[in-house]
Structure 1
Amino acid sequence: MTALSLSTTSAATARADAVVVGLTKGDDGPVVAPGAEAVDEAFAGKLADVLQTLGATGGEGETTKLPAPDGLKSDVVLAVGLGDVPEEGHDAETLRRAAGAAARALHGTKKAVFALPIEDAGDVAAIAEGVLLGAYSFDEYREQPKNGKGKAPLADAVITGAKPRDKAHKEAAARAQVLADEVNRARDLINIPSNDLTPKTFAERAAEAGKEHGFKVEILDEKALAKGGFGGILGVGQGSENPPRLVKLSYSPAKAKKHVALVGKGITYDSGGISLKPAGHNETMKCDMSGAAAVLSTVATAARLGLGTKVTGWLALAENMPSGSATRPGDVLRMYSGKTVEVLNTDAEGRLVLADALTRASEETPDALLDVATLTGAMVLALGNRTFGIMANDDDFRTAVHEAAADAGEQSWPMPMPAELKEGMKSPVADIANMGERMGGGLVAGLFLEEFVGEGITWAHLDIAGPAFNTSGPFGYTPKGGTGSAVRTLVTLLERTDAGELL
């Protein structure tokens, strides 16, 4: 874990292995960004010229290393691109991504000083988040760290230009540390292979987190699920030797004025069931529990930050496997709500476990209910690999989620809920089918989930199928593999609820 601190010491005199400076794209070549003036002076004001000679342009995420001159206490200068010179200060996401790219480039470095532009506490938060998220490495299954060509992650990061005695700066750094810890918890859970992360072991990890951070955890095993009539979760999990679980996480601060419930899809491995996935689509399906990981990390963040809003998390955990006991296409399940569902495709299983959890969560009449899920490939086709879709039964709430995501630095897009698509889910034998029209499949899934939300409850659905698992190369502060998508958005929503800005 990377240690983080704030310092007013000049970047030129701070002792470190490397000093990080920002570089922007000017009209006539790269320009050294504010915060690195002392480093530029050590190059006699020619740092930008030297970097340009080395091929640096200042483009976003670009990193360039060069030896430090005698005037610096660091051995190496790392310039990271910030993109075009802004009319005003750099936005938070630009700083977050630049700090993350620099942290990734510094694997194998013990101590680095970050001399990036800082105007206020928001900039401190963005840089701190970027550093801590960018330094992430998942090495649980390796003898030696392999991230960064066999080098360990950055050990110690110092942000200069920040004020360690300023309350706002201190709080920004402290929040960033907690938030990054919990996003990285979600990343770890997603990256753990399915033979080690079953519904049972996931539930146990949730219990450990609750014990550590002071929130209550209740676990319903397969016997309790059967007794309670949770036909959706049981139907999905019945083909596996690893039985399902429903986990309730309760963070209940004194005098809480609002209650937000979060439901996470937790398919610890998704083979597609009897409707087996085609070759080439199974290898990353350990990530199908990313929604549940996001909910666990969000509840833990709320507890660690001492937020004033009551938060209840529901982890709908199951393993979707084909076997002689597995649910078959054409079977009918009786859900916890009492509705019956004809299962036309066993690979549309996420909506089944979520439906039971949404109904159960609705019984406690929260002020808002959100579910998070790697739900549909159709949403990836619509929005790509870096943007999650948002559907809701209230346009204002959908907008609030979208705005929270933007401010948190997560890409999202509001999606419609066309009523005509409900026609395709009509079943001749059950109340509803788990499939509808192929076109607009991501929207059909959202409409299915809405059927299981309690009357009068404000609800939103986040389909994170695209950004939850990065199969390409790392970028900014985003690693390859599990990303922890939606945690920062959900935490921002809770903080705004605390502040009375919504609900």
Structure 2
Amino acid sequence: MNIKTSNDSKENIIFYPYWEESTLLPAEILSKISEDKDYFTAKGQVRRYFLSNKNILVIHLGKKEKVTLESFRQFLSSTYKIAKKELFKSFDVTLCYDGLGLKKEDVFYSSLEGLLLSDYEYDKFKSSKNKKFKVEDVTLIIEEIPNSLELINKAKLITESVFMTRDLVNGPANFITIDYMEDFAKEIAGKDNLKFSVIREEQLLKDGFNLLHSVGKGSVQRPRLIELEYFVGNDKPTICLIGKGIIFDTGGLNIKPENFMSDMKSDMAGSATALSLIHCISNLKLPINVVSLLPMAENAVDGNSYRPGDVIIAYNKKSVEILNTDAEGRLILSDALSYSDTKKPDLTIDFATLTGAAIIALGTKIATVYFRDEKYKQKMFDASKKSGEAIWELPLFEDYKENLKADIADVANLGTPSRQAGSIMGALFLSEFIENQQWIHFDLAGTAFFDKEWNYNPKGGTGFILRTIVEFLGKM
């Protein structure tokens, strides 16, 4: 899809945004809207007018005070979907924003995101060879932006990284195997000039990654820790990104019910995010050092699977009593978090589809986040607001650590009672295995994989949170 800017519209098909009491559109369009005022009142509604041999489509953005950068992402997503449905190969979009308190460059960039993020389809395994319709040219009508080409290229690069995450999450577990993830990460490292290494089974045990090894030992796909490093210089901050990489989760011996297993190919979304992020950061050439750690395992059922009642010694030498084998993601993350301390990072961020409790608390459109320290909190929320990816903080409530006490070990892998504050208990468990005070934990259980399309997010893998993290790290 070719995207360009212009001061004037030259296409016969033109989209306009509209909000209550807007006066920014041409007079003849406003006159038509006035005639339809009793019917054109709600956000998302579309009105079509044929004026001066032009096909004019106006999309309602809602009340003026509620129009944000996210409104423009959704607006452009709507234009793309209409264009694809009606087979518009090319069209113009007029970006009106005066009086909204939004910066021109931000409106332009958010509009780019909404357009590009909508242009996704996972059809790798479809046998149909029918030619698919493609939107070819879109012109954004806006006053001159000197760095427009730079912004377009940035948006395309970040979108490509989001799509990388989506593709990995959408891929079936018999194709996106642990071997595949290792090979793909190695390929990315080669292209992006990243340092690459893998700690495999015997070395995992020798080095003390017993939690990671135990979770994965019941599978024919052997567990491992994949590490990638992007190095800029010793005078730059170091960020460690860790992604939960459960390639498929049966629940282990505490096996999941059938209706809770069908989407478990997505349980490696955290590792897909951490991998896509280091790829994106290195290509953007951000002035930070980054280490991405991908603890990879399959939680399978086998005679060699770890069991409820087992006690396992973690990388940091704490003993863990296993109360439930379906609380496995926190185990592999814990070893990776402890290992991350050896890198002495300025900040550690982990990503995991960790708990169903996060979905119960916040649904599927808001990611749960935990901060051990206040230092980066406001910057992360600012990045979230700008990116349009909603996050909400839950507390690392220390008094609840009492519920993680084990009978015969230092800590249990599940809180008791088991149905109380599940996401918080997962985060508190992780906190036992990282010393770094600058630690942020994202529970992406609800946001990583959608059961239906939502705006510019497709059904399936979403790549949610990547844009927020890139925006956040860009301000480090």
**TM-score using structure 2 length:** 0.91
1:470 is aligned to 2:450: yes
Aligned equivalents of 2:387 and 2:286: distance in 1? 17
Q: Which moved more, 1:396-405 or 1:362-371?
A: 396-405
Q: CA deviation at 1:178?
A: 1.3
Gaps of 5+ in 2: 98-102
Q: Percent identity?
A: 31
Contact 1:341/1:430 (<8 A) preserved: yes
Matched residue type, 1:393: R
Matched residue type, 2:76: A
Q: For 1:3-47, what per-residue CA distance to the aligned partner results, in whole angstroms no more than 9, with x for missing partners?
A: 332233x22x236xx432212234xxxx5x74x53xx65x6x544
Please give the secondary structure, in 2, of the residue aligned with 1:218.
Answer: strand
Matched residue type, 2:429: F
Q: Which moved more, 1:203-212 or 1:371-380?
A: 203-212
State the partner residue of 1:202.
Answer: 181
1:48 to 33, 37, 48: 33
Aligned equivalents of 1:476 and 1:417: distance in 2? 32
1:415 is aligned to 2:410: no
Q: CA deviation at 1:155?
A: 3.5
Aligned equivalents of 2:328 and 2:63: distance in 1? 45
Aligned equivalents of 2:354 and 2:292: distance in 1? 18
Aligned equivalents of 2:194 and 2:139: distance in 1? 32
Q: 1:24 to 1:259 in 2, by over 3 A?
A: same
Q: CA deviation at 1:389?
A: 1.1
Aligned equivalents of 2:11 and 2:33: distance in 1? 21
Where does 1:258-297 land on structure 2 (aligned, <5 Å)?
Answer: 258-297=237-276
Aligned equivalents of 1:385 and 1:328: distance in 2? 31
State the partner residue of 1:158.
Answer: 139
1:101 is aligned to 2:78: yes
Matched residue type, 1:20: F
Aligned equivalents of 1:306 and 1:140: distance in 2? 30
State the partner residue of 1:457.
Answer: 437
Q: For 1:291-314, what per-residue CA distance to the aligned partner results, in whole angstroms no more than 9, with x for missing partners?
A: 111111211111111100111111
Q: CA deviation at 1:429?
A: 1.8
State the partner residue of 1:253.
Answer: 232
Q: 1:181 to 1:145 in 2, by over 3 A?
A: farther
1:71 to 48, 53, 64: 53
Contact 2:373/2:437 (<8 A) preserved: no
Q: 1:211 to 1:69 in 2, by over 3 A?
A: farther
Q: For 1:262-292, what per-residue CA distance to the aligned partner results, in whole angstroms no more than 9, with x for missing partners?
A: 1111111111111111121111111111111
Contact 1:367/1:458 (<8 A) preserved: yes
2:346 to 363, 367, 370: 367
Matched residue type, 2:105: A
Contact 1:399/1:414 (<8 A) preserved: no
State the partner residue of 2:6.
Answer: 7
1:188 is aligned to 2:167: yes
Q: For 1:193-244, what per-residue CA distance to the aligned partner results, in whole angstroms no more than 9, with x for missing partners?
A: 1111111111211222222233222222323323322111111111111112
Aligned equivalents of 1:432 and 1:216: distance in 2? 35
Please give the secondary structure, in 1, of the residue aligned with 2:474.
Answer: helix
Aligned equivalents of 1:451 and 1:3: distance in 2? 49
2:190 to 211, 227, 250: 211
Q: CA deviation at 1:334?
A: 1.9
Matched residue type, 1:130: G
Q: How many residues align?
A: 467
Aligned equivalents of 1:377 and 1:20: distance in 2? 40
State the partner residue of 1:482.
Answer: 461
Where does 1:326-365 land on structure 2 (aligned, <5 Å)?
Answer: 326-365=305-344
Aligned equivalents of 1:48 and 1:195: distance in 2? 53
1:92 to 51, 66, 69: 69
Where does 1:170-185 land on structure 2 (aligned, <5 Å)?
Answer: 170-185=149-164
Q: Which moved more, 1:236-245 or 1:461-470?
A: 236-245
1:447 is aligned to 2:428: yes
Please give the secondary structure, in 2, of the residue aligned with 1:395.
Answer: coil
State the partner residue of 1:500.
Answer: none
Q: For 1:378-420, what per-residue CA distance to the aligned partner results, in whole angstroms no more than 9, with x for missing partners?
A: 1111111111111121134334323322222111111111112
Gaps of 5+ in 1: 498-503
Aligned equivalents of 2:202 and 2:461: distance in 1? 31
2:209 to 230, 249, 255: 230
Q: 1:430 to 1:124 in 2, by over 3 A?
A: same
Aligned equivalents of 1:359 and 1:145: distance in 2? 48
1:114 is aligned to 2:97: no
State the partner residue of 1:135.
Answer: 119
Q: CA deviation at 1:422?
A: 1.0
Q: 1:126 to 1:337 in 2, by over 3 A?
A: same
Q: CA deviation at 1:188?
A: 1.1
Contact 2:11/2:90 (<8 A) preserved: no
Matched residue type, 1:218: S
Q: CA deviation at 1:318?
A: 1.2
Contact 2:227/2:293 (<8 A) preserved: yes
C-alpha RMSD of matched pairs (Å): 2.3
Aligned equivalents of 1:78 and 1:213: distance in 2? 42
Contact 1:468/1:485 (<8 A) preserved: yes
Q: 1:365 to 1:142 in 2, by over 3 A?
A: same
Please give the secondary structure, in 1, of the residue aligned with 2:219.
Answer: coil
Q: For 1:137-193, what per-residue CA distance to the aligned partner results, in whole angstroms no more than 9, with x for missing partners?
A: 2111213489xxx954533332221536x02x3332222111111111111111111
Aligned equivalents of 2:256 and 2:79: distance in 1? 38
Q: For 1:103-138, what per-residue CA distance to the aligned partner results, in whole angstroms no more than 9, with x for missing partners?
A: 233325432322222551111110001100112221
Q: 1:253 to 1:280 in 2, by over 3 A?
A: same
Aligned equivalents of 2:143 and 2:129: distance in 1? 31
Contact 1:239/1:325 (<8 A) preserved: yes
Aligned equivalents of 1:23 and 1:276: distance in 2? 51
1:317 to 293, 296, 301: 296
Matched residue type, 1:459: W
